[in-house]
Amino acid sequence: AVAAAKLLQGLGAHVEAACFVIDLPDLGGRAKLEALGVPVRTLIAFEGH
């Protein structure tokens, strides 16, 4: 998702949001997308063990 957001932004697009069913906070993807200015929406967060 980060690569797609960077590609779209590089082409001049405004990425309105990224939507996912599951957020895996331990992987840090949400933070990386938000650092690019892309809001993230999820239905559920699944914390690691």
By percentage, how much of the chain surpasses pLDDT 70? 100
Q: Measure the CA–CA gap between 26 and 29, rounded to whole angstroms.
A: 8
Q: What is the mean pLDDT of residues 10-14?
A: 98
Asked if pLDDT for residue 42 goes beyond 90, the answer is yes
Query: What pLDDT score does 37 carry?
Result: 97
Give the residue extent of every domain in the chain: 2-45
Query: What pLDDT score does 48 carry?
Result: 79
Query: What pLDDT score does 13 carry?
Result: 98
pTM for the whole structure: 0.86
Instruction: Count how many Cα atoms sit within 13 Å of the Cα of residue 46 in the half-sphere of its side chain.
Output: 6
Query: What pLDDT score does 39 carry?
Result: 98
8, 15 Cβ separation under 8 angstroms: yes
